[in-house]
Structure 1
Amino acid sequence: MAKTNNEIYAVRYARHDGRTAANNFIGGDPHEASGALEFYVWAIRTGRGVVLVDTGFDEAMAARRSRSVLRPIAEGLRSIGIAPDDISDVIVSHLHYDHAGNYDLFPRARYHLQDCEMEFATGRCMCNATMRVAFEADDVTAMVRKVFSDRVTFHDGDGTIAEGITVHRIGGHSKGLQSVRVETERGAVVLASDASHLYAHLEERKVFPIVDNADDVLSGYDKLKTLAASERHIIPGHDPDVLRRYPAPSTALQGWVARLDVEPIA
């Protein structure tokens, strides 16, 4: 596929400190401190509009889940010149609370979701408290309402969203987890979302403790590598290092927003 002038921005909005290795890795030591998780949404500016990957959560959900909202998503998007009404399409990587909230924030957007993720989030697995721990009924219900309002496009595996932007089912962490491949001037960048929470998951083949199928997680790492121009083109979903490895659009946005369609600085 030919390179395009798609621009990609990681927009940080929340953080979770005080995590242990057991919180971040299956088999991790519960007495060993581990890195924080950062929470991002990703904005893709195309020649025809703006595609958003995931919608995050708000202050009420942060309080419910003991997370810290640092800058509301709408404010973060406006800092790079994007208003919620500018969003034409929203790719929901999966329906966990930190990826599918703020469901009334983007009134013009069409939502993109994997068939099996909706089936998973509304089916018998949600009868099990362990399996539904990362889902919120209101987020899932809001997506069902969008289906009945003709605002959802379902995908079964690979799908095209816009020129140079495709989705690819990975599974593993959640049954219908999808990652996003974006063609840019520097080659194909893959927004892994939770197919790899941290760089360490991909690089050391570790697995995050919230999981539907660990084997699919590990197979997913290999798939991410085939989709991206190189391993350096894979962007994990929650790693603080993203903000250090990639430049900010301006000095004022350092530590808040990183531009991912350009070469890393570290």
Structure 2
Amino acid sequence: MTAELWVLNNGYIGDRVASTVTLLRDGDTLAVVDPGMVADRQQILAPLRELGVDPDDITDVIFSHHHPDHTINAALFRNARYHDHWAYYVNDEWVSRDAEGFALTDTIRLIRTPGHTAEDITTLVDTADGLVALTHVWWHSGGPAHDPKATDSDALTASRARVLALRPSLVVPGHGAAFVPDENTPR
């Protein structure tokens, strides 16, 4: 079994900032990762419509971390449970659990990858094309080599090594287009 993945919005960072927003489908599970800042909410909603997905059909929302540029549009998905590093949330229920090793499905799971923040998580997705890592350990394919906003540079280096050791066929970074990791990927 494999999941399907669509990048709804390629993020960017500079004078303005937008998160990379991704849709995952595995059976009845429809998950959106990092529904954060975009120039217009239609950059999230229009691709969903094109895929035949109503925002109310989203079952899960995953936050790589709690910065507003990755979370601000979470309320678009009012029927979802929301996942972060230490719990998931449904309506007024807080269900404590560690993200490390938590599986939404057989093909979608979470791991801890601190560095940018102490609470960062990476979403790992088994697809027909191989393992995909949705992560903020890189902002884009070029890194940056040294994250100027990192709360712990040593932890970030270890998290990058951990993700690369999994040999993902594709990385979906926090603020850029998906890329294939290679020898030039910042460590």
| Counterpart selection for 1:196 from 127, 138, 142 | 138
* 2-structure distance, mates of 1:155, 1:81: 32
| Counterpart selection for 1:227 from 153, 166, 182 | 166
Gapped regions of structure 2 (runs ≥ 5): 181-187
Deviations along 1:168-223, one digit per CA (max 9) or x if unpaired, are: 1001001110001111112211112x11111122xxx7122111101111111111
The within-5 A match list for 1:104-123 is: 104-115=75-86
| Counterpart selection for 1:236 from 156, 167, 173 | 173
Cα distance change on mapping 1:218 and 1:91 into 2, 3 Å: same
Matched position secondary structure for 1:225: helix
Cα distance change on mapping 1:200 and 1:15 into 2, 3 Å: closer
* 2-structure distance, mates of 1:200, 1:13: 15
Larger fraction in helix: 1
Matched position secondary structure for 2:25: strand
Cα RMSD of the aligned pairs, angstroms, is 2.7
Q: Does 1:54 align with 2:34?
A: yes
* 2-structure distance, mates of 1:70, 1:95: 19
TM-score, normalised on structure 1? 0.60
Q: Deviating runs (4+, > 4 A) in structure 1?
A: 13-19
Cα deviation for residue 15 of structure 1 reads 4.7
Task: Give the aligned length.
Answer: 180
Cα distance change on mapping 1:43 and 1:152 into 2, 3 Å: farther
TM-score, normalised on structure 2? 0.82
Instruction: Give the % identical residues.
Output: 27
Q: Aligned residue for 1:100?
A: 71
| Counterpart selection for 2:59 from 68, 85, 88 | 88
Gapped regions of structure 1 (runs ≥ 5): 20-36, 59-67, 119-142, 247-266
Cα deviation for residue 16 of structure 1 reads 4.5
Q: Could you tell me which amino acid in structure 2 is paired with residue 55 of structure 1?
A: P
* 2-structure distance, mates of 1:92, 1:164: 18
* 1-structure distance, mates of 2:162, 2:126: 16
* 2-structure distance, mates of 1:38, 1:108: 24
The within-5 A match list for 1:61-210 is: 68-69=39-40, 71-115=42-86, 146=89, 149-150=92-93, 154-192=97-135, 194-201=136-143, 206-210=145-149
**Max Rg structure:** 1
